[in-house]
Chain A
Amino acid sequence: MAQFIDNIPSMDLMRSEKMTFAQLIIPVESAHRAVSYLGELGLFQFRDLNENKSPFQRTFINQVKRCAEMSRKLRFFKDQISKAGLMSSPHSVLQPDIELEELEYQLAEHEHELIELNSNSEKLRQSYNELLEFKIVLQKAFGFLASNHSHEFSERELEENVYLNDGYFDTASPLEKELKPGSSYQSGLRFISGMICKSKVLRFERMLFRATRGNMLFNQAAADELIEDPVSNEKIEKTVFVVFFSGEQARTKILKICESFGANCYPVPEDISKQRQISGEVSTRLSDLETTLDAGIRHRNKALASVECHLAKWMNMVRREKAVYDTLNMLNFDVTKKCLVGEGWCPVFAKLQIQEALQRATLDSSSQVGIIFHPMDAAESPPTYFRTNRFTSAYQEIVDAYGVARYEEANPAVYTVITFPFLFAVMFGDWGHGICLLLGALVLIARESRLSKERLGSFMEMLFGGRYVLLLMSLFSIYCGLIYNEFFSVPFHIFGKSAYSCRDASCRDAHTAGLVKLRDPYPFGVDPSWRGSRSELAFLNSLKMKMSILLGVAQMNLGIILSYFNAHYFSSSVDIRYQFVPQMIFLNSLFGYLSLLIVIKWCNGSQADLYHVMIYMFLSPTDNLGENQLFRGQRPLQIVLLLLALIAVPWMLFPKPFILKKLHHERFQGRTYGMLTTSEMDLEEEPDSARQHDEEFNFSEVFVHQMIHSIEFVLGAVSNTASYLRLWALSLAHSELSTVFYEKVLVLAWGYDNLVIRLVGLAVFAFATAFILLMMETLSAFLHALRLHWVEFQNKFYHGDGYKFRPFSFASLTEDDD
């Protein structure tokens, strides 16, 4: 047996890759190149040898800082480019590689240029904005002034002496005063005009009102154009205002308030001819500025475009460079300060590749001393590394989500590839729904190359990641659907005619007396005639329940057998003899026997009550079985099985801890004193060595542990088997739910001879199918399948306390790392 197992060809996925701990001694001159070659290879996991050093005490911190600075500049460029709306050609112009130093220099130059351009154009833009605002204020304010004019004229007509000086409005600006000497009256009504953000108008007005105690008149009009905000570069709505007031104190107050609200004040002459003149001037200056601005923007865009074609490449380069220096920071200088010492894990198969890469690095950097790569022993257990492809990786993820496999432990992902979609399909058996899922999966797979480059939403990402799981799930649910004979809950006669038919032509007594069997059994799956019959549920329940038990017992047995493979692999005969064997006996003498009974009952069509058999096997094993007897010699067999099960419990409970204790005693008998000193010596000499220091053997702890395990297994055998009945329950729920939607919605709606009702019925049916059956039910079946794997299957053998192999690899650097 053992020999046979040894001869089984090894499977890649069955056990994680063999790893080796290695030390690299790299001459300083070739260190950078060596590490970047390793990064390209992506098969070496460096260990941080400077853990206790803070980041800025490390050797290559200056380079890391430089890289951070460069990536900051690159982010600045990216920001500027996206602001300028230049995000264009993803085509990368092939250009020669440039050195990092040169890149740094170039970046600094570009940044300098860009900042200068920006500040120039900012100044221009500011004056442009001011002029634009001035123009709008001129246009709008004129309206107020004109209307005020007429208003006041009429007022004067009414109250002769209110405003002596109307028609002579003073302007707020001293500049304007110079323009119009003699036309201002110090005590008269004056105004200030300007522009303010629309959102602030209300508060502004209130504040003005308060400050002048209501002695003012506030006019406003929305500007027609959107004006660019100098800070955020966004177009914002602004409002033109004109405030009329009197008095010098009020003027200073209002000006202060304007300033504090960020409102820009512009002088507006009330003389029409002057206004025309000024607005003409403003317009010409505006157009001048516009051309200058445009030229500036074109120039800037050109500069940005020249950066843009390199940007992706540069970003990638800087990111890599930073990763290399981060990795170099994990290395240690040796005593001579001429070499860097690195430690880490690599898979055994990659040794050659790594050595070759290191050699290449030595050659390329024309170093006189080669890089030394030598395997060492390590104290900690190696990382777990599975070589997956895009098909298996999703399944490996399912297993890893529970826990990463211990190093070289049997990997349940191998079986999960098939059992997971299959158990899902048992709960989701409907080939109509299966085809829908299949189409979805095929779409995802067909667009694989395109979708994998895109950034998807979290939900789509998950769906896309599990596309191959989805594919197998849909295929299996088509298969199970064919067995259940359900297509959106409707049975079809695909594989020939039903074996049953009515007793007579009228079929009147089909529901009362039942059908008669005419032909051979329906060749594949459930006979369509069961559908709608009185005993449909009873029949399907019995079928699915028994099937669930069979599947469950089979999968649990597989789990226990895998524990044998584990024990064999780690050559622990104690585990085989005192754990695997009694567990096998216990499970199979109870539930294996139940499965046997189910199969026998199916074969000979007996009427025996299996509940009764199983219950009385415990309660009164010696009683006669009576009509529940399925085969000869059943009673003695049951007694033997029961006894075996009873023996198996102490068998798995007691011997193992005692044997472990004995082994421990034998190993350390009489050596206790000697061991202590040597082990301490060892610790001092080789802190990194892989010496396993045996801890104190604590018998009670081991025994309690074993007791917990045994109890868990014994109780688990019952509860886990019962847990597999969820296969039946969910499948029942699914088929009943889809029957309800089909009969109570679609068929009901079709019964009306009304197009609207039919369409509504169809729509409701389609939505219910898509959202409830295809999405919710898929999720629930997925989760239950997940649970069956994580709990019922994996607790038989899987430790899952390893840690993942995370090699230093450029490929895994993403844009988020910045």
Chain B
Amino acid sequence: MYGFEALTFNIHGGYLEAIVRGHRARLLTAADYNNLCQCETLEDIKMHLSATEYGPYLQNEPSPLHTTTIVEKCTLKLVDDYKHMLCQATEPLSTFLEYITYGHMIDNVVLIVTGTLHERDVQELLEKCHPLGMFDSIASLAVAQNMRELYRLVLVDTPLAPYFSDCITSEDLDDMNIEIMRNTLYKAYLEDFYKFCQKLGGATAEIMSDLLAFEADRRAVNITINSIGTELTRDDRKKLYSNFGLLYPYGHEELAVSEDIDQVRAVMEKYPPYQSIFAKLSFGESQMLDKAFNEEEVKRLCLAFDQQFHYAVFFAYMRLREQEVRNLMWISECVAQNQKSRVHDSVVFIF
């Protein structure tokens, strides 16, 4: 019943919403980032993080720190938060929370499959996987030779199985195939998530459809930009766009025929919410596009916290934390490689 969530939401979701809002309050602030950017060594970063939520995760790390350790431990904190919430959640929130991880699962599948294609060690690949996207038989992905096997052997047990219906072919795996598979899976995933949120209704549907539409549009733009100059046909390209979002359907038609970045830009500038993103970029530039999109996303995610009694806060929190970990990774890399002048290039302040 739209508008009446306040009546019943707290029965099941109240505790977790309080938890997630508490977590959000402990996200690093601009002041923290300013301090972090001034750090000289990774030890300084650890020192500074010891006063934050990450403190307990980093305190037992021996002294020569590496960027990977910091990132790993910070991700661990996110994973612990997530697991705690998942343990406490009841339906439909638990399903909602599980949906959040499917994106990582897709990425992990692609990572392992690409890795094995290039004959990398499976254990090494597993370490690189995002812990949120792990599933039981992920390691056996290496066994598969083609899509069909991939599906039949491993993925049929995972929640990703239904998304696979569009990309079961007997073709051998290669980089292009895998990339198409990733995007097809993502498209199916986003559409499914979107449908699920619509089914939940209420403020969750309202806010999540906005957030997911943004995600879908962003992917559409990225697919377009990345496929410029490849042998991907226009029809194939269009097939990869998700069937919802602000750009659907007319924007997709135009994006499908775009041949360079300025054409993409022309398409996007017709949509007022995206004007501001492209207004920051100079013509012909796509480097800063990621950051601009990230900033816009963070802004939208923060807005999700302005309403109460809906599930989008969980999605928003997970995304914000991930962005924070990315920020920390970037800062640590910059500090470790003495590139402090570039520290602001990719850091997205959350508050």
A and B from one assembly? yes
Q: B81 interface residue, CB < 8 Å from A?
A: no
Within 8 A of A (CB), among B43-69: 43-44, 47-48, 50-51, 59-63
Please report the C-alpha to C-alpha distance between residue A65 and residue B40 in the assembled complex, in whole angstroms.
Answer: 14
In the complex, per-residue mask of A246-280: 1 if CB is within 8 Å of any chain B CB, else 0: 00000001001101111000000000000000000
Contact: B48 with A55, CB < 8 Å? Answer: yes
| Given known contacts A69-B63, A256-B143, A259-B122, A207 and B137 CB-to-CB distance under 8 angstroms | yes
CB contacts (< 8 Å) of A69 on chain B: these are 63
Q: B139 interface residue, CB < 8 Å from A?
A: yes
Please report the C-alpha to C-alpha distance between residue A758 and residue B39 in the assembled complex, in whole angstroms.
Answer: 76
Please report the C-alpha to C-alpha distance between residue A262 and residue B136 in the assembled complex, in whole angstroms.
Answer: 12
| Given known contacts A260-B142, A261-B140, A56 and B60 CB-to-CB distance under 8 angstroms | no
CB contacts (< 8 Å) of B21 on chain A: these are none
Q: A814 interface residue, CB < 8 Å from B?
A: no
Q: B35 interface residue, CB < 8 Å from A?
A: yes
Contact: B140 with A256, CB < 8 Å? Answer: yes
Pick from A57, A260, A818 the residue with the most CB of B within 10 Å: A260
Q: B339 interface residue, CB < 8 Å from A?
A: no
Please report the C-alpha to C-alpha distance between residue A64 and residue B51 in the assembled complex, in whole angstroms.
Answer: 13
* Contacting residue for B139 out of A55, A57, A260, CB 8 A: A260
- CB B221 to nearest CB in A, in angstroms, measures 36
* Contacting residue for A54 out of B38, B63, B122, CB 8 A: B38
Please report the C-alpha to C-alpha distance between residue A72 and residue B64 in the assembled complex, in whole angstroms.
Answer: 13
Contact: B136 with A203, CB < 8 Å? Answer: yes
| Given known contacts A210-B153, A260-B122, A72 and B62 CB-to-CB distance under 8 angstroms | yes
Within 8 A of B (CB), among A67-88: 68-69, 72, 75-76
CB contacts (< 8 Å) of A65 on chain B: these are 43, 47
Please report the C-alpha to C-alpha distance between residue A256 and residue B153 in the assembled complex, in whole angstroms.
Answer: 13
Q: B270 interface residue, CB < 8 Å from A?
A: no
Q: A348 interface residue, CB < 8 Å from B?
A: no
Q: A211 interface residue, CB < 8 Å from B?
A: yes
Q: B12 interface residue, CB < 8 Å from A?
A: no
Please report the C-alpha to C-alpha distance between residue A56 and residue B61 in the assembled complex, in whole angstroms.
Answer: 18
Interface size on B, residues (CB 8 A): 25
Interface size on A, residues (CB 8 A): 24
In the complex, per-residue mask of A54-66: 1 if CB is within 8 Å of any chain B CB, else 0: 1111000100110
Contact: A55 with B142, CB < 8 Å? Answer: no
Contact: B140 with A75, CB < 8 Å? Answer: no
Contact: B143 with A261, CB < 8 Å? Answer: no
Contact: B140 with A260, CB < 8 Å? Answer: yes
CB contacts (< 8 Å) of B142 on chain A: these are 256, 260
| Given known contacts A54-B38, A55-B51, A210-B152, A72 and B143 CB-to-CB distance under 8 angstroms | no
Within 8 A of B (CB), among A26-77: 54-57, 61, 64-65, 68-69, 72, 75-76
CB contacts (< 8 Å) of A64 on chain B: these are 47
Within 8 A of A (CB), among B5-35: 35
Question: Interface residues, chain A, CB within 8 Å of chain B?
Answer: 54-57, 61, 64-65, 68-69, 72, 75-76, 203, 207, 210-211, 253, 256-257, 259-262, 818
Supplied contacts A68-B50, A75-B60, A257-B140, 14 more A-B pairs, CB within 8 Å: A54-B35, A54-B48, A55-B47, A56-B48, A65-B47, A203-B137, A207-B137, A207-B153, A207-B154, A210-B152, A210-B153, A260-B141, A261-B140, A262-B139
**A-B contact list, 29 entries, CB within 8 Å:** A54-B38, A55-B47, A55-B48, A55-B51, A56-B47, A57-B38, A64-B47, A65-B43, A65-B47, A68-B47, A68-B50, A68-B59, A69-B63, A203-B137, A207-B137, A207-B140, A253-B143, A256-B140, A256-B142, A256-B143, A257-B143, A259-B122, A259-B139, A260-B122, A260-B140, A260-B142, A260-B143, A262-B139, A818-B59
Question: Interface residues, chain B, CB within 8 Å of chain A?
Answer: 35, 38-39, 43-44, 47-48, 50-51, 59-63, 122, 136-137, 139-143, 152-154
